[in-house]
Structure 1
Amino acid sequence: MRKTWKKAVALIAAAALLAGCGQSSDEGSSSAAAENAAGSEMAAMIISIAQGDPFLVLAYDGVEQLGEEYGVETKIIEALDKSEYSEQIRAMAEAGANPIYVVWDDLAAEAIKIAPDFPDTKFIVVDCYVTSELENVKTIVVEPQEAAFIAGVVAANTTETNKVSWIGSADQPVINKFRAGFEAGVSYADPSVECESLYIGDANDPNKGSELTKQVIGKGADIVMHSANKAGLGVIRACEEEGVKAIGADEWQGSINEDVVFWSALKDITGAVYQAGKSALDGSFTAGMDVYNIKSGSRLYDERDYEKLPDEVKKAVDEVEEKMRNGEIEVPSDVE
């Protein structure tokens, strides 16, 4: 393991890194802030792709909510190359950030290596299944397959061509949970509906997302769900251009075009990020993994979409949701 930097060097490096790579906000008022038992003055999130990704925007919203409530400064730091991961994480820890969020697998693995050097700093791993037995590391996961299952039920009850499609960013465990849920939901609602699932291979390229979407539309799909981060915006754009319906992911994406994005499979990462950070500041932090799903109260869809559904589709959604809550339907998390 890399040795801890000398303090003076670390502080200088931290200042340089923050100036060059980060975005910060300090809107919280200490006079109105919640009690900060940890005494932290900064919460930071480290990401491995450029800012602007819709999912990361949602995740950082949770950090900003934490900052506003507890009166701490918030920063988002880009570590765009693997060679920067250790450097950025250490810089944040040396600068006093607590908690430090790291998003996705590669950053998570590096944070777990570094966490023992900073036992008083809470590290929060976001949106992957990397775990640790360290007392200062927590992993948070919002399970997406239940929301995707309902999206599949809606798609199967809405398609006019009997062909739908799911497009993911990459063949990865978190993304495949969306796929597993969507495919299962389609099959549950109507086994005769065909569902083609494909991967873009890039979470950050909307043009590739658009090209792949036009391919499946050309083969007859009239509803396309994406789980493709920024590339998913290209999926929606292609649906708009070709006059077919799209299903969004993570947040309510009807704001792009409600006539096209008629349904969104929600993933409340904002709330999960906020709750995990709150535990770090109020003294209730526990190590391990926190899983958010239908039983923990996670929202699976937006009421604006639900209200626009035909009555028979609303009934199907209601029945499926109730069966999921009481355990009659167990949604798969792995692709068959």
Structure 2
Amino acid sequence: MDRSITRRGILTGACGGITSALAGCTSVVPGMGTGDGDGATETATRQFDQSETFIGMLYATSGLDDDSFNDMANRGVKLARVRHGIEYKNAVPETVDQIQALQTEYAKSTNPQFDLTVCIGFLQQEPLTKTAKEYSDQKFMLVDAVVDRDNVANYVFKEHEGSFQVGVLAGSLTSQGFSAGAGQTRVDRKTVGFVGGIESDLIKKFEAGFMAGAKYADEDVEVLREYVGSFSDVEAGRQAAQSMYDEGADIVYHAAGGTGVGVFQAAQENGRFAIGVDSDQSETDPRYANVILASMVKRVDTAVFNAIDTIEKGEFDGGSVQSLGLDRNGLEVAYGNVVGPEIPELAKLQVDDTRFKIVNGEIDVPTTPEEV
């Protein structure tokens, strides 16, 4: 349905207006209206027009402005607002322990009543298993994990495939002399690194794909690896990457959300390179564009938009699992806007070739580091 946007943000800054759990325990950010951060406010007594579609956005704990995973999800709901005129509410849990309370508050809300609650990140899986059962009439979307219930539409990605591609890029460039932007490789070492956020089966898919891709490009490449236990600890990311650069790494790939900013900082400080994740981080955080070779873009924005689109069309696919890989354009390699043009064409062709081979089954990318 095609609706015009006729009202401004439901809440900005303060958390009141839906229920008490959304009113102070979270890092709540603007939603519903003409633009995030526009400063408009609604009161708790406002009666909303339920002929419009309302979406509850519940992000991962790394928060918005992570230039990565959450921001891609936010881009998807913004596109839905432009295309369909939906209204939405943003909330960010400060801790994992707050997630179920926030899911529950969206499910219980009657002013407005949310047509869909979008849950971003695998850490929402366990609490949603309980919430979705208790509130079986509420529709949910879950990104990066699966809850097997008829009121949950699940969207997962084949992160290992895209990570394999950037691994091929890293393995190719560490095996040769390469200089661009503020970085350069060492001709006497063939070493790259991987920094993960919270160690989990999901993040291990990034690790495994990257390792396999680097070895595919050059079997002599050494891959250093470390998990920092957080998706929002910039200093931990910087220290982990620093140790890798000290050990000879030319390029470090991160799958660590906001923690990845520290990886970019260390790359600049050492005159080396980094690879971003989830969004094109040379664009979302241009401060580090001169050391970002590429980013493994995960189209969370597409997943969020598609889920909202099913609500608009009355075709909610509860109980389904949508798996987005290279074959469905759920992933892509975005070369950095500063360093990317300087990358040798031969390396880019090698990356392109692996896409074709993965989609056609000629390359079977491992999903765990133990398989590499």
TM-score, with structure 1 as normaliser = 0.86
Q: Contact (CA 8 Å) 1:205, 1:231: kept in 2 or not?
A: yes
* Aligned position for 2:32: 25
* Aligned position for 1:313: 347
Given residue 58 of structure 1, which amino acid in structure 2 is its aligned partner? Answer: M
* Aligned position for 2:53: 41
Instruction: Please give the alpha-carbon distance, in whole angstroms, between the structure 1 residues aligned to 2:69 and 2:252.
Output: 19
Q: Contact (CA 8 Å) 1:66, 1:274: kept in 2 or not?
A: yes
* Aligned position for 1:267: 298
TM-score, with structure 2 as normaliser = 0.78
* Aligned position for 1:126: 143
* Aligned position for 1:77: 91
1:145 counterpart = 2:160: yes
For residue 52 of structure 1, the aligned residue among 46, 60, 65 is 65
Q: How does 1:1-336 map to 2 (within 5 A)?
A: 14-18=18-22, 20=24, 21=26, 22=28, 23-27=30-34, 39-49=51-61, 50-53=63-66, 54-95=68-109, 96-128=113-145, 130-132=146-148, 134-159=149-174, 160=187, 161-255=189-283, 256=286, 257-286=288-317, 287-302=319-334, 307-336=341-370
Q: CA deviation at 1:41?
A: 2.9
Q: CA deviation at 1:147?
A: 1.2
Tell me the secondary structure at the aligned position of residue 167 of structure 1. strand
Instruction: Please give the alpha-carbon distance, in whole angstroms, between the structure 2 residues aligned to 1:149 and 1:84.
Output: 34
Instruction: Please give the alpha-carbon distance, in whole angstroms, between the structure 2 residues aligned to 1:101 and 1:125.
Output: 6
Q: Contact (CA 8 Å) 1:142, 1:272: kept in 2 or not?
A: no
Q: Contact (CA 8 Å) 1:66, 1:278: kept in 2 or not?
A: yes
Q: Contact (CA 8 Å) 1:181, 1:331: kept in 2 or not?
A: yes
Q: Structure 1 residues 85, 266: closer, same or farther in 2, change over 3 A?
A: closer
* Aligned position for 2:44: none
Instruction: Please give the alpha-carbon distance, in whole angstroms, between the structure 2 residues aligned to 1:218 and 1:107.
Output: 36
Instruction: Please give the alpha-carbon distance, in whole angstroms, between the structure 1 residues aligned to 2:249 and 2:91.
Output: 39
Tell me the secondary structure at the aligned position of residue 89 of structure 2. strand
Instruction: Please give the alpha-carbon distance, in whole angstroms, between the structure 1 residues aligned to 2:332 and 2:347.
Output: 16
Tell me the secondary structure at the aligned position of residue 249 of structure 2. coil
Given residue 237 of structure 2, which amino acid in structure 1 is its aligned partner? Answer: G
Deviation readout 1:31-63 (Å, 9 max, x if unpaired):
xxxxxxx95531011135243333111112212
Q: Contact (CA 8 Å) 1:27, 1:73: kept in 2 or not?
A: no
Q: CA deviation at 1:115?
A: 2.2
Instruction: Please give the alpha-carbon distance, in whole angstroms, between the structure 2 residues aligned to 1:290 and 1:175.
Output: 19
Q: Structure 1 residues 244, 83: closer, same or farther in 2, change over 3 A?
A: closer
Instruction: Please give the alpha-carbon distance, in whole angstroms, between the structure 1 residues aligned to 2:154 and 2:352.
Output: 31
Q: Structure 1 residues 183, 102: closer, same or farther in 2, change over 3 A?
A: same
Q: Contact (CA 8 Å) 1:131, 1:289: kept in 2 or not?
A: no
Tell me the secondary structure at the aligned position of residue 219 of structure 2. coil
Structure 1 portions without partners, runs of 5+: 1-11, 29-37
Instruction: Please give the alpha-carbon distance, in whole angstroms, between the structure 2 residues aligned to 1:264 and 1:126.
Output: 20
Deviation readout 1:126-149 (Å, 9 max, x if unpaired):
122x321x2211111122111111
Given residue 314 of structure 2, which amino acid in structure 1 is its aligned partner? Answer: G
Q: Structure 1 residues 218, 74: closer, same or farther in 2, change over 3 A?
A: same
Instruction: Please give the alpha-carbon distance, in whole angstroms, between the structure 2 residues aligned to 1:103 and 1:97.
Output: 16
Q: Contact (CA 8 Å) 2:208, 2:368: kept in 1 or not?
A: yes
Instruction: Please give the alpha-carbon distance, in whole angstroms, between the structure 1 residues aligned to 2:236 and 2:96.
Output: 24
Deviation readout 1:51-105 (Å, 9 max, x if unpaired):
3333111112212222232222111112324553333222212221121011233
Q: Contact (CA 8 Å) 2:207, 2:369: kept in 1 or not?
A: yes
Q: Contact (CA 8 Å) 2:52, 2:87: kept in 1 or not?
A: no
Structure 2 portions without partners, runs of 5+: 1-15, 36-49, 175-186
Instruction: Please give the alpha-carbon distance, in whole angstroms, between the structure 1 residues aligned to 2:314 and 2:250.
Output: 50
Q: Give the number of aligned pairs.
A: 314
Deviation readout 1:193-238 (Å, 9 max, x if unpaired):
1111111122111111111111111111111111111010000110
Q: CA deviation at 1:297?
A: 2.0
